Amino acid sequence: MKQIFTLLFLLVIGLGTLNRALAGQEYAPQPGETVIRFDIENRGSVFVRLYTKEAPNTSAQVLSLVRRGFYNDQKFFRVERRPKPYIAMFGDPQTKTMELDHPNVGSGGSGKTVPFESNSLTHDVGAVSFAHPRDSKDGDSQFFFVLGAAKFLDGQYTVFGRVVSGIEILPKIERGDKVTQVRVISG
């Protein structure tokens, strides 16, 4: 009888671990990989591998902000799904204190810009790309997750990462979803 309870207990623990892994809750970076984990309230975790060689300055800027806790408790302030899935935008610190309908939301940043870095990476589903204002290609802290192929953005924005786990969470992201914690994990 004790063996049956032990077996059931181990089975439940194993299934829980498997469910977390399947839900994008776990990711073990490969040696040399730099990965950022986004914990999205009521959604789960999304893991983004950075392209540190293809976008070194953009990656360094985002890593610096993550390490400072800059992104913690910010909200997704723009999610475009029509005419097709497109982007979920994040990285404005004003979303911590302002209503999302405030006219200044979407204009905030860290105060440090990074020049556009051209690379051959594409805006496919799961790409993560640095945003910039209309009058400049320099970015600051805002970026977007690509929800649907958007090849027309290639060469216009710096792709600096790709979702490696938790991609199934992207279509569930809504405007106003809060990212409770962002942290770096490395292989």
Report pLDDT digits (tens) over 153-176.
999 999 999 999 999 999 999 999
The CATH number assigned to the domain holding 70 equals 2.40.100.10
Q: In whole angstroms, give the CA distance from residue 117 to residue 110.
A: 19
What's the average model confidence in pLDDT over 15-23?
Answer: 43
Residue at 6 is within a domain = no
Question: What is the pTM (predicted TM-score) of this model?
Answer: 0.85
Domain coverage including residue 64: 29-186
Beta strands in 67-126 (DSSP E): 74-75, 78-80, 87-90
Instruction: Output 135 or 70, whichever has higher pLDDT.
Output: 70
Residue at 105 is within a domain = yes
Assess whether the previous peptide bond of 31 is cis (omega < 30° from 0): no
Q: In whole angstroms, give the CA distance from residue 97 to residue 141.
A: 17
Residue at 19 is within a domain = no
Q: Where are the alpha helices (DSSP H) in the chain?
A: 2-22, 56-68
**C-beta separation of 146 from 120 below 8 A:** no
**Cα Rg of the chain, angstroms:** 18
Record the tokens describing residue 55, joined without a space.
């976008």
Q: In whole angstroms, give the CA distance from residue 147 to residue 77.
A: 15
What is the number of domains present in the chain?
Answer: 1
pLDDT tens by residue, 104-125: 999 999 999 999 999 999 999 9
